[in-house]
Amino acid sequence: MSAPTLPAALADATRDDASLRRFLHGLPGVDQVGVEARAAALATRSIKKASKLWAIDTAISMVDLTTLEGADTHGKVRALTAKARRPDPDRPDTPQVAAVCVYPDLVAAAVEGLKGTGIGIASVATAFPSGRSSRQVKLADVALAVESGATEVDMVIDRGAFLEGRYGAVFEEIQAVKAACGDAHLKVILETGELVTYDNVRRASWLALLAGGDFIKTSTGKVSPAATLPVTHVMLQAVRDWFTATGELRGVKPAGGIRTTKDAIKYLVAVHEVAGEQWLTPELFRFGASSLLNDLLLQRRTQHDGHYSGPDHVAVD
């Protein structure tokens, strides 16, 4: 079950269940106190004026504008795509978001709304958010998304299998989904809130990278805690270490609970200092968020106008 593109040492790690376990448990541990202290210290960097404006525009361009409600309708998705195309109609120089993220059955509506924009169409598949279904159903879910035109697939891992230590099963499933994705980019949702320990986060990150995930993503947004700074630090370290080992660039996507510009900037600082400047691009870093965009737009206006404008100056979609 080894992936053909990996360097020998890493390919060997994926030979069977036992070697996968040995490899994952041989990764350096993560010290909770240390990683949380570092995350807190980096969060105090001062970003103002020109650097803030740059950070805001960069953050906007990294947003996966998301709606994942049971009550989602075609109308809601159309409104969201309109917002993605022109986040701030009063200010045409505002960057477009990276992608719109919807359930598989609504991908067609998103494709329609985003025609000709180059904005990505992401879809959560694989029995999102719990991932509790048969392989067949999960792959059918992926097929629906991809056939409807999704360019990015956000899958959830089987946390049950991971916590049971059946790493091989998780690995195989990610590979199968990756194969089903075709040209679409695969983001692997680890649901770190359910993995609980940083050691697990690091192991799950490596597992997803070994299996060919293009992105590792923190959360579905349906479990608390969702994205946190220290968890994102651990994942950024994983992609950096992956780059050192293989020369390949993989991405990170924190999702859920990032609502303010201030928070988003803290993540950008972490990207900058933990992974490196190279990762400061929508190809390698995304925010999974629904309400973050409006705060970014308000703060963007504040930076340009020199005064605050109210929430009614930006669209509520």
Partner 1 sequence: MPAFEYAPAPESRDLANLKPSYRPFIDGEFVDGGGEPLKTVNPATEEVLAEVSTASAADIDTAVKAARKAFEKTWGPMPGSERAKYLFRIARLIQERSRELAVLETLDNGKPIRESRDSDLPLVAAHFFYHAGWADKLGYAGFGPDPKPLGVAGQIIPWNFPLLMLAWKIAPALATGNTVVLKPAETTPLTALVFGEICQQAGLPPGVVNILPGAGETGARLVEHPGVDKIAFTGSTEVGKLIQRQVAGTPKRLTLELGGKAANVVFDDAPLDQAVDGIVNGIFFNQGHVCCAGSRLLAQESVVDELLDKLRYRISTLRLGDPLDKNTDVGAINSAEQLGKIRALADSGEAEGAQRWTSPCPVPDRGFFFAPTVFSGVHQSMRIAREEIFGPVLSVLTFRTPDEAVAKANNTPYGLSAGIWTEKGSRILWMASRLRAGVVWANTFNRFDPAAPFGGYQESGFGREGGRTGLEGYLDV
Closer Cβ to partner 1, 37 or 196, answer by number: 37
Closer Cβ to partner 1, 142 or 271, answer by number: 271
266 is catalytic: no
CB of 242 to partner 1, least distance (A): 14
CB of 45 to partner 1, least distance (A): 6
**190 CB-contact burial (10 Å; exposed 0-12 / middle 13-18 / buried 19+):** buried
Is there a contact between 235 and 270 (Cβ–Cβ < 8 Å)? no
Is there a contact between 251 and 220 (Cβ–Cβ < 8 Å)? no
CB of 209 to partner 1, least distance (A): 16
Closer Cβ to partner 1, 185 or 272, answer by number: 272
Closer Cβ to partner 1, 131 or 251, answer by number: 251
CB of 111 to partner 1, least distance (A): 29
Is there a contact between 65 and 83 (Cβ–Cβ < 8 Å)? yes
253 is catalytic: yes
Strand partners for 99 = 64, 120
31 is catalytic: no
> How far is the C-alpha of 87 from the C-alpha of 314, rounded, in Å?
8
Exactly one of 88, 217, 263, 295 is catalytic; which is it?
Answer: 217
Would you tell me which residues interact with partner 1 (CB under 8 A)?
Answer: 28-31, 33-35, 37-38, 44-52, 54-55, 234, 237, 244, 268-269, 272-273, 276-277, 280-281
Peptide bond preceding 129 in cis form (omega within 30 of 0) = yes
Backbone angles phi, psi at 131, to 5 degrees: 75, 15
Catalytic residue positions, numbered: 154, 217, 253
